[in-house]
């Protein structure tokens, strides 16, 4: 049975509707993790450190797709909730084309500044050359990467969350197979991992692009549209929180790497890289849930269905509580085995990674509520509050923590920084949720 945005959502229906997005985001994270596993085990510590050092810079450009996808989905869903499907399709088409054109422009910019950025991040010698080589190859697929991000949200708004799941499963399997072939069998090292990632991103973008370009049974289809500056501005403003969140996260990752170079050298960067790879998988569950639930919130907001808005909000909080407890427990139990998969060949690096991950895992108790809080206001088309939560959480709190705590706790201060930042951000999220509860009637 097809689940529609206009349905009443029980726990089972909400889980069924958001599950494809959750699995999709997990696969998105996993095929990034695969690069790290193969490079670390078959190419060595220096290429692995190079990928971790340059990755925040590369990922920052892909956040344009998150901004268009989340901000655009909120606008499209609300418009459909108001009963205007024709305008919703026009918005969808415009934003898809903008994603492609923006991706091409950002590809050029990212490659031009790649080497200076790597040097600014502390890369030198062999690590610098590896950063540049990997970055150039991966950024050639940036338009596809941006489209992937945008379609992850658009597919849910089209009531086709399974399409985004298929898209990412196919892309993820492609990346795993090509990594095994290029890195483990052909021994192409860093180049093989980059080519595998590039190919998988292109495949992941082409599948939904073809689907929406042809007649289909979803709520959306690509077609002709006129340029609507107000709609684009509203999308960018509303999606600015996700843009800020992702750019801030990558900027903070660069700062983490600089601090780790200072306190632990190359081993610190490698350990942090492992923690980030695993973190992406765990946090992907929260991100997948909010991607799946945001169109429901946006639709009911547009339809002024306050009863259903309250229902979805309350069930979401309960589900997030369960997710948080389960993931924190799992992370603590799996800290050793997961660290061993990446760096089991180096006892010192393994001990550092395992210890850091045990501390870092405590942030999973908190971050899901902060991610949902920001997404809630994006779905309600209040980009300002969403951006404030994201800005404070991902930039201000983390920068302050990672600069101050190491002065007190040394290397452990770096691992505790994320926990401290999420705790402060949770206070802000709770404040905003209660402050605006009467305006939006979700409580």
Model confidence over 244-302: pLDDT tens digits? 777 777 778 778 888 888 888 878 888 887 888 788 888 889 988 998 898 999 899 98
Q: Residue 125: what pLDDT?
A: 87
Task: Report CA-CA distances (Å) from 134 to 111, 165, 171, 186, 250.
Answer: 11, 27, 19, 17, 17
**Residue in the block written with tokens 């903070």:** 252
**Residue 86 neighbours by CB distance under 10 Å:** 8
Region of residue 329 (left: phi > 0; alpha: psi -120 to 50; beta: else): alpha
Q: Residue 317: what pLDDT?
A: 96
pLDDT in single tens digits along all 443 residues of the chain: 577 888 899 999 999 989 888 887 887 777 667 767 788 788 777 888 788 788 878 888 988 888 898 889 989 998 988 888 899 999 999 999 999 999 999 999 999 999 999 998 888 888 899 999 999 999 999 999 999 889 988 988 898 888 888 888 888 888 889 988 998 889 888 899 899 989 989 998 999 999 999 998 888 899 988 899 999 988 888 877 667 777 777 778 778 888 888 888 878 888 887 888 788 888 889 988 998 898 999 899 988 999 999 999 999 999 999 999 999 999 999 999 988 887 887 888 899 999 999 999 999 999 999 999 988 998 898 888 988 888 888 888 989 999 999 999 998 999 999 999 999 999 999 999 999 999 999 98
**Residue 57 neighbours by CB distance under 10 Å:** 22
d(CA 419, CA 255): 16
Tell me the CA end-to-end span of the chain in Å, nearest whole number: 29
DSSP state of 380: T
pTM of the predicted structure, to 2 decimals? 0.77
Q: Identify whether the C-beta of residue 135 lies closer than 8 Å to the C-beta of residue 81.
A: no
List the structure tokens of 83: 């009963």
């Amino acid at each position: 049975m097809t689940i529609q945005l206009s349905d009443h959502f029980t726990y089972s229906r909400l889980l069924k509707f958001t599950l494809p997005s959750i699995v999709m985001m997990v696969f998105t994270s996993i095929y990034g993790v695969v690069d790290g596993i193969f490079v670390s085990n078959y190419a060595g510590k220096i290429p692995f450190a190079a990928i971790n050092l340059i990755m925040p810079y590369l990922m920052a450009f892909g956040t344009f797709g998150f901004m268009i996808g989340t901000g655009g989905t909120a606008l499209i869903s609300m418009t459909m909730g108001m009963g205007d499907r024709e305008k919703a399709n026009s918005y969808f088409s415009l934003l898809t084309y903008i994603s492609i054109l923006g991706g091409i422009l950002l590809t050029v910019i990212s490659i031009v500044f790649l080497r200076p950025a790597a040097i600014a991040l502390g890369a030198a010698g062999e690590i610098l050359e590896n950063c540049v080589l990997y970055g150039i190859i991966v950024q050639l697929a940036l338009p596809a990467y941006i489209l992937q991000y945008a379609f992850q949200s658009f597919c849910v708004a089209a009531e086709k969350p399974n399409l985004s799941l298929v898209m990412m499963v196919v892309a993820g399997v492609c990346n795993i197979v090509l990594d095994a072939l290029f890195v483990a069998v052909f021994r192409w090292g860093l180049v093989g991992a980059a080519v595998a990632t590039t190919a998988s991103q292109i495949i992941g973008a082409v599948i939904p692009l073809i689907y929406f370009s042809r007649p289909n049974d979803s709520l959306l289809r690509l077609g002709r549209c006129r340029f609507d500056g107000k709609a684009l501005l509203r999308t960018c403003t509303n999606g600015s929180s996700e843009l800020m969140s992702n750019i801030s996260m990558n900027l903070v990752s660069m700062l983490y790497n600089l601090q780790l170079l200072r306190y632990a050298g190359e081993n610190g960067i490698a350990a942090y890289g492992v923690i980030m790879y695993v973190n992406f998988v765990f946090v992907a569950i929260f991100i997948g849930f909010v991607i799946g639930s945001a169109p429901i919130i946006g639709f009911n907001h547009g339809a002024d269905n306050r009863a259903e808005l309250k229902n979805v909000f309350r069930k979401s909080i309960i589900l997030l509580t369960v997710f948080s407890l389960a993931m924190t427990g799992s992370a603590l139990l799996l800290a050793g085995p997961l660290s061993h998969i990446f760096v089991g060949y180096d006892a010192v690096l393994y001990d550092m990674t395992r210890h850091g991950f045990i501390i870092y895992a405590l942030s999973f108790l908190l971050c899901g509520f902060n991610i949902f809080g920001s997404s809630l206001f994006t779905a309600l088309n209040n980009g300002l509050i969403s951006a404030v939560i994201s800005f404070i959480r991902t930039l201000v709190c983390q920068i302050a923590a990672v600069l101050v705590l190491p002065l007190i706790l040394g290397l452990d201060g770096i691992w505790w920084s994320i926990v401290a930042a999420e705790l402060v951000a949770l206070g802000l999220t709770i404040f905003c949720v209660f402050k605006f509860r009467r305006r939006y009637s979700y409580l």
